[in-house]
Amino acid sequence: MKKTSIIISVIVGVILLVFLMFSGTYNSLNASRHDVENAYAKIETQLQRRYDLIPNLVNVTKGYMEHESEIFTKIAESRNLVSAAKTQNEKIAANMQLDSAISRLLVIHENYPTLKSDVQAQQLMAELAGTENRIQVARTDYNDVANVYNKKISAFPNVMFAGAFGFSKAELYQAVSEAKTVPNVNLKP
Amino acid sequence: MIKKSIVAIIIGLFVSLFNLGTVTAKVPDTAPINGIYDEARILDSRFINYIEKLNTQLQNTDRKIQVGIVTVESLNNESIERFALNIARKWKIGYSQSNHGLLFVVAIKDRKMRLEISDQLSTIFTDGEANLYLEIVKPYYRIQDYSNGTLKLIETIANEKLIPHSKNETIIYHKKQTSTLGNFIKFSISVIFISIIIAIFFKRRGGRGGRGGDYLFTTMAILDALSSSKSNNSHNSGRWSGGGFSGGGSSGSW
Q: Which helix (DSSP H) or strand (DSSP E) does residue A91 occupy?
A: helix A88-108
Judged against a pLDDT cut of 60, whether residue A91 lies above it is answered with yes
CA geometry: angle at A59 spanning A55 and A64, to 5°? 140
B128–A contact, CB cutoff 8 A: yes
Contacts of B18 in chain A (CB under 8 A): 140, 143, 175, 180
Q: In terms of CA atoms, which chain B residue is nearest residue A42?
A: B246
A57–B contact, CB cutoff 8 A: no
- ipTM score here? 0.77
Local structure of B39: helix, strand or coil: coil
- Mean per-residue pLDDT for B117-145? 94
Cut 0.80: pTM above it: no
- Non-local (6+) Cβ contacts of A115 within 8 A are A61, A64, A65, A109, A121, A122
- Report which DSSP code applies to A156: T
Judged against a pLDDT cut of 70, whether residue A183 lies above it is answered with no
Q: Which CATH class is domain B24-166+240-253?
A: alpha beta
> pLDDT of B11-34, one tens digit each?
444 444 444 444 455 789 999 999
Residue type, B203: K
> pLDDT of A24-40, one tens digit each?
888 999 999 999 999 99
User: What is the predicted pLDDT for the residue at B190?
Assistant: 65
CB pairs under 8 A between A and B: 81
> pLDDT of A2-17, one tens digit each?
888 899 999 999 999 9
Please report the residues numbered 185 through 204 in chain B whose beta carbons come closer than 8 angstroms to any beta carbon of chain A.
Answer: none
B110–A contact, CB cutoff 8 A: no
How confident is residue B36, by pLDDT bands cut at 50, 70 and 90? Answer: very high
User: What is the predicted pLDDT for the residue at A134?
Assistant: 93
CB distance B253 to B131 below 8 Å: no
Contacts of A148 in chain B (CB under 8 A): none
Chain B interface disruption, residue of A142, A184, A187, most B CBs within 10 A? A184
Nearest Cα residue to B130 out of A126, A52, A60 = A126
CB distance B183 to B234 below 8 Å: no
**Domain-wise residue ranges, chain B:** 24-166+240-253, 167-236
Q: What is the mean pLDDT of chain B?
A: 77
Out of A93-107, A115-129, A163-177, B15-29, which region has the weakest mean confidence (pLDDT)? B15-29
Q: Name which residue leads in pLDDT, B179 or B185.
A: B185
**Domain-wise residue ranges, chain A:** 37-180
Gap between the Cα atoms of B196 and B192, Å rounded = 6
CB distance A53 to A124 below 8 Å: yes
Based on the number of CB atoms within 10 Å of its own CB, is B133 exposed (0-12), middle (13-18) or buried (19 or more)? buried
A183: left (phi over 0), alpha (psi -120 to 50) or beta: beta
**Got the DSSP string for A40-58?**
HHHHHHHHHHHHHHHHHHH
User: What is the predicted pLDDT for the residue at B24?
Assistant: 52
List the beta bridge partners of residue B38.
B71
Local structure of B135: helix, strand or coil: coil
Chain A: closest CA distance from residue B20 (Å)? 10
User: What is the predicted pLDDT for the residue at B20?
Assistant: 44
